[in-house]
Structure 1
Amino acid sequence: MTLLAALTETPDERPDAIRVAGRAVSGDRLLASAAAVADEVRGLDRVAVEATASLETVVGVVGALLAGVTVVPVPPDAGPMERDHILRDCAAAALLTPDGRPADWADLPAVPTSLDRRSASRPPEPDAGDPALILYTSGTTGLPKGALISRRAIAACLDGLAEAWAWTPDDLLVHGLPLHHVHGLVLGTLGPLRVGGRIDHVGRPRPAAYAAAGGTLYFGVPTVWSRIAAEPAAARALRTARLLVSGSAALPGAVFDGLRRLTSHQVVERYGMTETLITVSARADGPRAAGTVGVPLPGVETRLVDEHGGPVPADGVAMGELLVRGPTLFGGYLNRPDADAASRYDDGWFRTGDIATIGPDGRHRIVGRASTDLIKSGGYRIGAGEVEEALLAHPGVREAAVVGTPHDDLGQQVTAYVVGDGVTAAELIDFVARMLAAHKRPRRVHLVDQLPRNALGKIQKTRLGIGG
């Protein structure tokens, strides 16, 4: 099977098969325009594309993949330093642009991705082990690293999700996610082009746009779902959908419950990383619970280890670093053998850096990042996510982020940053102490106007200015 099987083998002739930000084309029209790009770039090693939410981005990505050329999506909101680093690090040979004119921020030959250009050529399918994408990580611990994602890994991920979610050509997928991340690009764009079905990328993921789309399958991040849950009319419009899927960060329990009341849907949560693609997910035909991200996809293995690499029991309580092994893993970090070696064990296990629990039934719960979300205080191991959930249960709390900060006696203390209305720090500390074990209560609560987030809505705890 070719990577984009549905597009290349049975292209959808419906005029609205692929819709992005209000503009639509048929599958056969997309394929013809992408083939024209493939004719231009064939023989190159890597090409970059400014990954705006546009049909031209889809044409460019698909064209390069048809030609067997590795695609490097550049975030459209990247600053000069990040853009320069990505282009220098990946050594792209050309830049894909809508009109074929060079961009003022890249000294590279430009290749047009215009829908007005078409070709009937059909290049042979490249080797499955060839890199399809280089996706750059968020760079929270230095400059972004380029993760080499093979065609085989993408196919394994999408096929696993199609099985878990009962995803078929009858589905209309609706989302408004960035096209330079796994969620929006691999799942939200390449997914329907492999599995079949229509795509409606609504541009900005506003509740009204989701409500008006009439989809069967919806993708969103917690920020999107939170805003939809806050608009009951928009949420109720999703009752006719088949599946609502959330990822990229933990979905607050209050949002899960609110959507269940308004839409009659229990949201499907899933887990993955740039380096692993999606590895764990709740199933369309399986149980779902707020805060759990399901079970491993076909062929994927997971296990937990402590800080010394020793085994942690899968009892639903004990926390450990989540290790992943399987066909969806990336091929390594570009130009960073040191980082690649540090992220893996010799037997093929990848260190996610995330802290999780695994229940006896195999269901996973992600506690948070080992670097920021596992708090060691007075001999206790405390998951930041549990404290955040407790804070969010208070009616005056809209957002919460919990971290460990240095403490002379305890080693670390639980510190919370809260966006709220009419609440005090003392009130919140007492509230959590009544809900959880006393040692899990925040020792300090900072009331703030907003929490720093990235493009996918993830709270960036390293930017909280933590100091105690």
Structure 2
Amino acid sequence: MALRLPPSMAFVTHLLAVWRSGGQAILLDHRLTDYEVRRATERLVPQVVVSPARPVPAGLRTFVEVDADLASYSGHPAGTTHAVVQLSSGSTGPSKVIGRSAEDLVEEVLRYTRIDGVPQRGERLILLPSMVHVLGLVGGLLYGLHAGVELVPPARLTGDAIVQAIGSATTPATVLGVPFHIGLLASVQDPPRLPQFKRMTTGGELVPAAVSRSFEEKYGAPLGNMYGMTEVGVIGTDLYGEHRPAIRPAPGIEVRAVDGELQVRRPESPYLGLSDPTRWSDGWLHTRDAGVVDEKTGLVSIKGRLDSQVSVGGLKVDLTEVEYTLASLRGVEAAVVAFDGAITAYVQVSAPQTVSQLESDLAQLLAPYKRPRTLHLLDQLPRTTTGKLVRDLTTLRKAVS
């Protein structure tokens, strides 16, 4: 059964009902276009598709009320025993089809219970990511149900509404989100004192130290990092911000670095309809992320995507370093740095900026061969439905044009 529902009680009840009946749930983000849904159903051939009976109101609500409509589809029974099938974020290209078993989901929920700093029974989790995706699904919904943690979606996806949700009760509150949500909280002018604000934890992308310091100064709460993938769930965390930019592998997770690539032990390939030894082989998932593992401490440092290492005039440049440097500049909210024959930067600015200003600032921080040849300034960088920055060059070029 395919669920094309927004975060709602309808989504939760249909998901649990599918699992209780022994079925397989295919999760489709309700924000996908009809064309994208049609392509997904052609690939996944479900027997039933559950959608909202009426259009979901546009707006910034994080949890909505919808009536579900069930439609038969000319599919067939599930060909695998996976409990859930999801699509990868698609931040770097076409989505991959990923299956996870019930045992794997239970294992991840129990993994969360062994991580120091996660919300405990009786506490609150201010849930910002969609439950359709792995962070909101397992780190939010399933962990919350298992651990007795109250899930509190804010009334709207705005900084003020998130602050209101934190302050709505006196019990300790953890905010779970992605880097995009940090910007929402940063936009709040003179937030009230929030002694119950325990921490904010973000997944999706690692957060620069400057952003973390600014957040902690404003709210008096630590900003924790979480590293994970749809294929695995949570891989490592630094919930207290003690090891930034490194993370510690989550309990039960084994990580190694081979030729500069991080790999995670997985007994089986999570990919459906894909046999690609560059993605999974011999019990190891190839993350396509560059990184190192400290043999003494076990800490993992993520250096960005493997394809972020490029050669400029015979000199190696780490595009992640350029990106982090850009993101640290005043007035810059986010940046994506790509290589298409030359280093090109796509920059989201929050205040009036000029290319010459940014180039002048970068000249103080980066060697000439590392600096972008071209800077594109945008009001908003394209993001996936999970809030990740899109790195696909075709999409980025369209955003500029």
Question: Which TM-score applies when normalising by structure 1?
Answer: 0.72
| Counterpart position of 1:325 | 265
Go from structure 1 to structure 2 and tell me whether the alpha carbon gap of 1:185 and 1:443 turns closer, same or farther (over 3 Å shift). Answer: same
| Counterpart position of 1:287 | 242
Q: Deviations over 1:37-68 (max 9, x none)?
A: xxxxxxxxxx1112312111011111222222
| SS at 2:70 equivalent | coil
1:224 pairs, out of 181, 185, 190, with 181
2:272 pairs, out of 328, 331, 334, with 334
Unaligned 5+ segments in structure 1 are 1-46, 110-128, 307-319, 407-412
CA–CA distance in 2 between the matches of 1:239 and 1:465?
A: 44
| Counterpart position of 2:324 | 389
Q: Report the residue type matching 2:148 in the other structure.
A: G
Q: What value does the CA root-mean-square deviation take over the aligned residues?
A: 2.7
1:136 pairs, out of 59, 82, 87, with 87
| SS at 1:436 equivalent | coil
CA–CA distance in 1 between the matches of 2:93 and 2:386?
A: 19
CA shift at 1:422, angstroms? 4.3
Q: How does 1:69-218 map to 2 (within 5 A)?
A: 69-96=23-50, 99=67, 101-102=69-70, 107=73, 130-139=81-90, 143-164=94-115, 165-202=117-154, 204-214=156-166, 216-218=173-175
User: Is 2:400 aligned against 1:465?
Assistant: no
| SS at 1:458 equivalent | coil
**Structure whose CA Rg is larger:** 1
Q: Report the residue type matching 1:335 in the other structure.
A: G
| SS at 1:464 equivalent | helix
**Contact kept? 2:327, 2:333, Cα under 8 Å:** yes
Go from structure 1 to structure 2 and tell me whether the alpha carbon gap of 1:399 and 1:59 turns closer, same or farther (over 3 Å shift). Answer: same
Go from structure 1 to structure 2 and tell me whether the alpha carbon gap of 1:385 and 1:142 turns closer, same or farther (over 3 Å shift). Answer: closer
1:268 pairs, out of 219, 224, 227, with 224
**Contact kept? 2:128, 2:175, Cα under 8 Å:** no
Structure 1 segments of 4 or more deviating over 6 A?
Answer: none
| SS at 1:82 equivalent | helix
| SS at 1:144 equivalent | coil
**Contact kept? 2:124, 2:151, Cα under 8 Å:** yes
| Counterpart position of 1:53 | 7
**Contact kept? 1:175, 1:210, Cα under 8 Å:** no
CA shift at 1:174, angstroms? 1.0
Go from structure 1 to structure 2 and tell me whether the alpha carbon gap of 1:167 and 1:450 turns closer, same or farther (over 3 Å shift). Answer: closer
| Counterpart position of 1:416 | 345
CA–CA distance in 1 between the matches of 2:379 and 2:239?
A: 37
Q: Report the residue type matching 2:234 in the other structure.
A: I
CA–CA distance in 1 between the matches of 2:39 and 2:153?
A: 29
**Contact kept? 1:271, 1:281, Cα under 8 Å:** yes
**Contact kept? 1:179, 1:185, Cα under 8 Å:** yes
CA–CA distance in 1 between the matches of 2:189 and 2:243?
A: 22
2:249 pairs, out of 296, 306, 312, with 296
| Counterpart position of 2:300 | 364
Go from structure 1 to structure 2 and tell me whether the alpha carbon gap of 1:166 and 1:461 turns closer, same or farther (over 3 Å shift). Answer: closer
1:402 pairs, out of 331, 337, 344, with 337
**Contact kept? 2:235, 2:250, Cα under 8 Å:** yes
**Contact kept? 2:206, 2:226, Cα under 8 Å:** no
| Counterpart position of 2:60 | none
Go from structure 1 to structure 2 and tell me whether the alpha carbon gap of 1:354 and 1:204 turns closer, same or farther (over 3 Å shift). Answer: farther
| SS at 1:193 equivalent | helix
Q: Report the residue type matching 2:165 in the other structure.
A: A
CA–CA distance in 2 between the matches of 1:167 and 1:384?
A: 35
CA shift at 1:108, angstroms? 6.8
1:343 pairs, out of 263, 279, 282, with 279
1:249 pairs, out of 202, 205, 211, with 205
**Contact kept? 2:29, 2:385, Cα under 8 Å:** no
**Contact kept? 1:70, 1:133, Cα under 8 Å:** yes
User: Is 2:337 aligned against 1:380?
Assistant: no
| Counterpart position of 1:119 | none
CA shift at 1:245, angstroms? 0.4
CA shift at 1:238, angstroms? 4.4
CA shift at 1:399, angstroms? 2.7
CA shift at 1:192, angstroms? 0.8
Q: Deviations over 1:50-99 (max 9, x none)?
A: 23121110111112222222111111011122211222322222234565
| Counterpart position of 1:425 | 355
CA–CA distance in 2 between the matches of 1:142 and 1:263?
A: 36
CA shift at 1:206, angstroms? 1.8
Q: Report the residue type matching 2:86 in the other structure.
A: L
Q: How does 1:438-449 map to 2 (within 5 A)?
A: 438-449=368-379
CA–CA distance in 2 between the matches of 1:204 and 1:366?
A: 32
CA–CA distance in 1 between the matches of 2:340 and 2:42?
A: 36
Q: Report the residue type matching 1:91 in the other structure.
A: V
Q: Report the residue type matching 1:287 in the other structure.
A: E
1:258 pairs, out of 206, 214, 233, with 214
Go from structure 1 to structure 2 and tell me whether the alpha carbon gap of 1:335 and 1:398 turns closer, same or farther (over 3 Å shift). Answer: closer
CA shift at 1:239, angstroms? 4.0
Q: Report the residue type matching 1:367 in the other structure.
A: K
Unaligned 5+ segments in structure 2 are 52-65, 167-171
CA shift at 1:225, angstroms? 1.0
